[in-house]
Amino acid sequence: MSADLLTVSDLKKHFIVGYRGIVAREPITVKAVDGVSFAVREGETFGLVGESGSGKSTVAYTVVGMYKPTAGDIAFQGQSLYGRGGKRRADLRKEIQIVFQDPGSSLNPRRTIKDIVGFPLRLYGSNGDLQTRILELLQMVELPADYMHKYPQMLGGGEKQMVAIARALATSPSFVILDEPTSALDVSIQAKIINLLLRLQKEFHLSYLFITHDLSLMRNVASRVAIMYLGKICEIADAAEFFRNPYHPYTQMLLSSIPVVSDEEEALKPKKIASLGEIPSPINVPSGCSFHPRCPQSKDICSSEDPAMVEVEPGHTVRCHISR
């Protein structure tokens, strides 16, 4: 087993979204991420799955430095990303890069591909000619050289995402966060991007934190999977184990909801659990286990006590009362 590259321990990110009361102003907080711990090993793809509002993107944005954690720590190769005084260390910036979900928004429409890919190179200094290096990066993501002078809106969605990948790799990072990199794309393009990412991972020994809501995709890319619900992780397991033996009722519900294309896959899905209700507003998180109002197996204890993470099998931890 390879060493842990990035460790997230008890990470919390709360947002103040408003205030209650006029005189005694009591803040209304959204606990977008509320005590999340996981570790990404060197060279692996760690999958983080969740529905919208689960906090999975907030985890990504906090790890990459867009948000400052409310509590908890993020460590890279054992060193905390936050130095003295809680200031984020600038020297580790180039090690951790991100590819955003929407390539339409993540590429500046008024800058050419050359400027976009060249910017991190200029910032960190590249060995050799800038132009050559940009061409190398474009080649790496299988884009033709004449794309240099094009603007993002002249490219297709998949090509834009390839540019975003080239930009992320420009600083030669060792850890890349992929925040739903293909959810806005068609399947045939998704296939190409995913396979490109897997190839680049092998070539440059990259570690991925792969965030998605698509469990079928996760099955094919991740070595380990964590599932998030309302700011907390409810299950972590090796990918094979996760799909063969899902413990958490939420995991089972999600798995049973996936539309699939063959009977073999249908057989792998847990028995149909009719999904109930919707993910509640993160402002009013249900008491106890936050999943209990939607849980078909909910017991009395579930509404009063928040379950702890329990290791049910080596490497497979679950946060649920009934799985004990």
Partner 1 sequence: MENDRLLDIRDLHVVFDVFGGTLKVLDGVDFTVRSGEKVGLVGETGCGKTTTMKAVLRVLPMPPARVTGGEILFKGRDILQMTSRELGQVRGEGMAMIFQDPTAALNPVFTIGKQLEAAVKYSASGDKRLSGKEIRQRAVEALKEVALPDPERLLKNYPFQLSGGMRQRVCIAMAVAGDRELIIADEPGTSLDVSIQDQILRLLRRLAEEINTSVILITHTLGVVREIADRVYVMYAGNMVEMAPTKELFSRPLHPYTVGLMAAVPKLTGGGIADGIPGRIPDYLNPPVGCRFHPRCERAMPVCRTDKPRFVKVSEDHEVACFLYSQEEEGT
Partner 2 sequence: MVSAKVLGSAQRSENLRRSWYKFSRNRLSLIGLFTVSLVVFLAVFAPVVAPYPQHASAFVDFENASRPPCRTYPFGTDVVGRDIMSRIFFGFRFSLMMGVVVLSLVVPPGVILGLVAGYYQGTWVDTVIMRTTDIFLAVPPLVLALAIASVLTPNLFNAMLAVSLMWWPWYCRLVYGLASTLRHEFFVASAETIGASRFHILFREILPNCISPIFTKMSLDMGWVILIGSSLSFVGLGVQPPRPGLGTMVADGSKYLPDQWWIAVFPALAIVLVVLGFNLLGDGLRDMLGAEEV
Both tokens of 172, joined, read 């030669």
Q: Out of partner 2, partner 1, none, which partner does residue 156 contact, by CB within 5 to 8 A per kind? A: partner 1
Q: Give the one residue of 8, 138, 194, 209 binding partner 1; rule: CB under 8 A.
A: 194
Residue (of 48, 49, 55, 64) closest to 31 by Cα position = 55
- Using CB under 8 A as the binding rule, whether residue 37 contacts partner 1 is answered as no
Q: What character string, x for contact with partner 1 (CB under 8 A) and - otherwise, covers 108-147?
A: ----------------------------------------
Joined tokens for residue 236: 């972590």
Give min distance, CB of 87 to partner 1, in A.
Answer: 37
SS (H, E, C) 208-264: EEEEECCHHHHHHHCCEEEEEECCEEEEEEEHHHHHHCCCCHHHHHHHHHCCCCCHH
Q: Which does 261 bind (CB under 5 to 8 A by kind): partner 2, partner 1, none?
A: partner 1
For partner 1, the closer CB: 130 or 198? 198
Which one of residues 188, 202, 203, 324 is an interface residue with partner 1 (CB under 8 A)? 188
Give Cα 43 distance to the centre of its chain.
16
Window 271-290: contact mask with partner 1 (x via CB under 8 A): ---xx--xx-----------
Cβ atoms < 10 Å from Cβ of 80: 16
For position 253 contacting partner 1 by CB under 8 A, the verdict is yes
The residue range among 8-16, 161-169, 230-238, 262-270 that interacts with partner 1, by the rule CB under 8 A, is 262-270
Alpha-carbon distance values, 62 to 6, 48, 88, 126 (Å)? 13, 14, 11, 27
215 with 49: CB under 8 angstroms? yes
Residues 142-171 that bind partner 1 (CB under 8 A): 156-158
Spatial CA neighbour of 97 closest among 66, 59, 64, 126: 64
Q: Which residues fall within 8 angstroms of residue 154, CB to CB, at 6 or more apart?
A: none
Of residues 64 and 234, the one with the C-beta less far from partner 2: 64
Binding site for partner 2 (CB under 8 A): 61, 64-66, 90, 93-94, 97-98, 100, 102, 105-111, 119-120, 123, 131, 135, 145-146, 148-151, 153-154, 167, 171
Between CA 213 and CA 276 the distance in angstroms is 18
* Residue 285 to residue 54: CA distance in whole angstroms: 11
Output the smallest distance, CB 23 to partner 2, in A: 22
49 — phi, psi (to 5°)? -110, 145
119 three-state secondary structure: helix
Q: Counting contacts by CB under 8 A, is residue 215 touching partner 1? A: yes
Cβ at position 294, least distance to partner 1 in Å: 9
Least Å from the CB of residue 48 to partner 2: 18
Name which of 169 and 193 has its Cβ closer to partner 1: 193
Select from 243, 317, 318, 319 the one that contacts partner 1 (CB under 8 A): 243
User: Under a CB-based contact definition with an 8 Å cutoff, are residues 99 and 64 in contact?
Assistant: no
Q: What does the binding site for partner 1 look like in residue numbers (CB under 8 A)?
A: 51-52, 156-158, 186-192, 194-195, 198, 213-217, 219-220, 239-240, 243, 253-255, 257-262, 264-265, 268-269, 274-275, 278-279
